[in-house]
Structures are given as structure tokens and as C-alpha cells.
Amino acid sequence: MSIEAVLFDLDDTLIRRSMKKPEDLHRVLNQKNISVSLEEVRRACCRLESELQESLGYKLKTQRGKVPHSTLYHIWKSYFYKAIGIEAHKMNGKHEIDLGWADICDTEIYPDVIPFLANLKSQGIRVGIISNAYEREVEQILEIAGLDREFFDIIVGPDTASSIKPEPEIFLHVLRILGVEPAHAIYVGNDLERDYVGAEEVGMKSFLILRSENEKVNENVRLIRNLTSLKEQLD
């Protein structure tokens, strides 16, 4: 059966992001006249990453698509201030930290991404991103990473679909806009439940991409380690 669309998750699928070196964040804070030591910043970075995996991550997930992006940003900043040991109510005016998660992460495109996307476009295959990040966040991350927006026919987040992965509606919303039946679409993501199972349940053909050989999965899934190995599925 011919493939008409290939849709992707973003983080750890097309791009890799990690917390910037504490030295970089320390320099930003100094520019804002916020006096904290480098060691304090190092501890805060560890704490913030832990929070993103636990309570903060859960809070952001449950609010995505339900509140404006600015509200999510405010939640993120409150945790950031707490991690760095700053009282949030004292942060205003020139001292206000105008940073989001994307701003303090190192962001890079996986080397197989641009050639693969270019190949899809040359074949006339529709390309898109379905993310649990807001559309504005995705656009910002693409710009920071240097990944050309022109590669993508559509970008959808929970704010535009009023749904969040793995809920069926966010996948079906994109397919309706593209005019593509689920059986003619592929979805590639790195999360078993949110990406792989979510897309499979609406009838798409899913691929779980785990780029590190250290990442294992016990379930019987279509597992790939890079996008190059996906090319044969389209030939």
C-alpha cells in the first residue's frame, strides 16, 4: 500500500535536546544581575531536570492544550526560580528571566534527518510533526535547531488539535487536514505508549525510534535506530 504521509514526533526523534552547560546558564544569570554561584547553578540544573521528569513534567502534561502557552511558561519559570533559590515574587522588571526550556537547552538535529526529509519531499510524500509541545514551541525549537520549516506541510500540537498524544483525535486531526487515510500514513516517535501505540490505534503504521543502542524495548514493535533504516519501507 502506498505511503502518502510520514509524520514525526520532535524530541529524540528529529532533534536532540539537553540542558546546556551550567556555565552557560550561569553567564545568563550574571547578565541579569542575579548573583548565584556556579555550583548553585549546577545543583539547580540537576534539580530542574529531575522536576521535569516528575512533578513539573506531570503538571505541564496535564495542562497542555487546556491553558495558553503563557500560563505554561509561568509554571515553568516558577519551578526554575525555585530550583535556583530565587523568590519568584521578587523577580520583575529588568531582573525578570525571559527564558524557556528551549532557551537553556543544547539543541541539535540528528544527522540523518535532513537527507531523509529531503528524500520524502522529493517523492511528493506529505511530512508533518505531531507533538505534545505547543505549536509555538515547536516552531521555536525548529528555529533554534536550524531545521527548515519548509520541510513540513503541517505542525500540530495540543493547542491546535485540542488533544494530546496518545489520544486518537490529535492523530486524526492531522490526517483529516492532509486528506490522508490512516492506512496510508506512517508515524515515527520515541515513546512506546504516546507515539507508537497512539498512532497504531488509529490505523497508522508506527515505528518506534530509539537512537541509543542502550535503549531497549521488550514489546514486539517495529523498532528502528535511525531514519535511514526506514527508507526501505517507502521504496
CATH of the domain at 160: 3.40.50.1000
pLDDT tens, 7-65? 999 999 999 987 667 887 787 777 777 778 889 888 887 887 777 667 766 666 676 66
Rounded CA gap, 197 and 206, in Å?
Answer: 8
Residue after which a domain boundary falls, among 78, 105, 132: 105
Same domain? 25 vs 11 = no
Rounded CA gap, 213 and 223, in Å?
Answer: 11
Residue after which a domain boundary falls, among 105, 123, 157: 105
CA angle 153, 154, 155 (to 5 degrees): 140
Same domain? 152 vs 44 = no
Same domain? 226 vs 119 = yes
Same domain? 25 vs 137 = no
Same domain? 100 vs 145 = no
Range of the domain at 56: 18-105
Residue 125: the pLDDT is 96
Q: Is the peptide bond before 115 cis (omega within 30 degrees of 0)?
A: no
Pair 197, 166: CB distance under 8 Å:
yes
Same domain? 119 vs 213 = yes
Instruction: State the total domains in the chain.
Output: 2
Same domain? 73 vs 178 = no
Residue after which a domain boundary falls, among 105, 123, 148: 105
pLDDT tens, 136-183? 889 988 998 999 999 999 999 998 888 889 999 999 999 999 999 999
Rounded CA gap, 198 and 169, in Å?
Answer: 10
